[in-house]
């Protein structure tokens, strides 16, 4: 199984279009060890030709152009993307669907009932797409032990609910439901290898321990270094926990939570304010000491 990181940044990407914090300013200056990042999304394949797109970021066009296997190659108009899986209904994970509206047929989209509700009512992307290519919705049943995606052979998916708030435009914003945000395990049915993907992991809930223990690779939330990062950088007042993210540092932070797992550990969905984006930063060295990697656009993970 090949997992290709199309985008590794959090919402807004890196640098963020309206941000002049020390990190965004440094990458604009072209300082060594500073790589730009688009908003988080991954592609998964077993046979190298049929791909599952997980989340469709606003940067989807440039991400597809940067990954040749996803570009048109078999016909006048086509793509290697056979199906799409959405992990939540956030703007930075769904807006790219509008850029795929020229699809020759309905977009095959796997998501939970809650995400379907949000994208049909509060942020009606699905209804908008009906005026273009249409949507072929495939519900994700969280009570199911797992499911296969016929369009992408060789992959099985297991979904688990994560504690989270629905987006501000959700009809149930103040009434959280299982399925507002999920984590998924992708399984290569030929080798049995597993990768657990959770770019919006707010806390390590008890039901996740067994899931993560079985994984060969953990690709998880790397948004913030500290809970008060936005305040420290002077760019906001919300804490990481308020935004549904588990920071790396501190008691019960991501570094501590990942310590007991033997799997390969990689952080994704990294905010533009996080100093781990600087390859020479002390924070980056701390991650390396704990065997934790930082994802970048174009990174390939082979299992």
Instruction: Say yes or no to pLDDT of 75 above 90.
Output: no
For residue 65, what are the domain limits?
A: 2-302
Look at residue 256 in the predicted model and tell me its pLDDT. Answer: 96
Instruction: Write down the pLDDT at residue 195.
Output: 98
| pLDDT tops 90 at residue 292 | yes
Give the total number of structural domains in the chain: 1
Residue 82 tokens, joined: 């056979």
pLDDT of 74 above 80: no
Q: Tell me what pLDDT residue 241 has.
A: 83
Mean pLDDT of 119-129: 97
pLDDT at 150: 94
Write the pLDDT tens digit of every residue in 213-239: 999 999 999 999 998 998 988 888 888
pLDDT per residue as tens digits for the range 54-72: 999 999 999 999 999 999 8
**DSSP class per residue in the chain:** -EEEEEE-B-TT-BS-TT--SHHHHHHHTT-TTB--B-B-EEEEESSSSSEEEE---TTHHHHHHT-GGGSS-SSSS--SEEEEE-S---HHHHGGGGGGTT-SS-EEEEE-HHHHHHHHTTS-HHHHHTTTT-EEEEE--TTSS-EE-TTSTTEEEEEEE---PPPTTSTTTTS--TTSSEEEEEEETTT--EEEEETT--S--TTHHHHHHT-SEEEEE-S-SSTTHHHHTTS-S--TGGGT---SSSTT-HHHHHTT--SEEEEESB-TT-GGGBTTSHHHHHHHHTTEEE--TT-EEE-
For 161, phi and psi rounded to 5 degrees?
A: -75, 145
Q: Any idea what the CATH number is for the domain that residue 256 is in? A: 3.60.15.10
User: How do residues 12-48 score in pLDDT, each as one tens digit?
Assistant: 999 999 999 999 999 999 999 999 999 999 999 999 9
Strands of the 182-188 sheet, one edge to the other: 147-148, 155-161, 182-188, 194-198, 217-221, 264-268, 292-294
Confidence of residue 189 (pLDDT cuts 50, 70, 90): very high
Quickly state the pLDDT bin for 174 (edges 50, 70, 90): confident
Partnered with residue 2 across adjacent β-strands are 45, 302
């Amino acid at each position: 199984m090949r997992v290709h990181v199309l985008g590794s940044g959090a919402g807004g990407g890196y640098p963020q279009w309206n941000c002049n914090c020390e990190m965004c300013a440094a990458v604009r200056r072209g300082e060594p060890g500073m790589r730009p990042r688009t908003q988080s999304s991954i592609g998964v394949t077993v046979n190298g030709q049929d791909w599952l797109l997980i989340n469709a970021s606003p940067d989807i066009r440039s991400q597809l152009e940067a990954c040749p296997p996803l570009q048109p190659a078999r016909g006048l108009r086509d793509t290697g993307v056979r199906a799409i899986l959405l992990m939540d209904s956030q703007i930075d994970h769904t807006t790219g669907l509008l850029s795929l509206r020229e699809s020759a047929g309905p977009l095959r989209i796997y998501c939970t009932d809650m995400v379907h509700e949000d994208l049909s009512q509060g942020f009606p992307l699905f209804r908008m797409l009906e005026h273009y290519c249409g949507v072929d919705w495939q519900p994700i049943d969280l009570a199911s032990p797992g499911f296969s995606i016929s369009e992408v052979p060789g992959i099985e998916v297991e979904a688990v609910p994560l504690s989270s708030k629905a987006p501000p435009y959700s009809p149930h914003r103040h009434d959280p439901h299982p399925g507002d945000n999920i984590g998924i395990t992708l399984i290569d049915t030929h080798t049995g290898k597993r990768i657990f993907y959770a770019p919006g992991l707010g806390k390590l809930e008890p039901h996740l321990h067994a899931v993560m223990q079985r994984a060969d690779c953990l690709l998880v939330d790397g948004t913030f270094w500290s809970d008060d990062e936005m305040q420290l950088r002077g760019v906001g007042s919300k804490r990481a926990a308020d935004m549904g993210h588990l920071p790396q540092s501190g008691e019960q932070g991501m570094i501590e939570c990942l310590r007991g797992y033997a799997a390969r550990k990689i952080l994704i969905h990294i905010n533009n304010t996080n100093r781990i984006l600087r390859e020479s930063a002390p924070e980056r060295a701390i991650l390396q000491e704990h065997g934790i990697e930082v994802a970048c656009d174009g990174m390939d993970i082979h299992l």
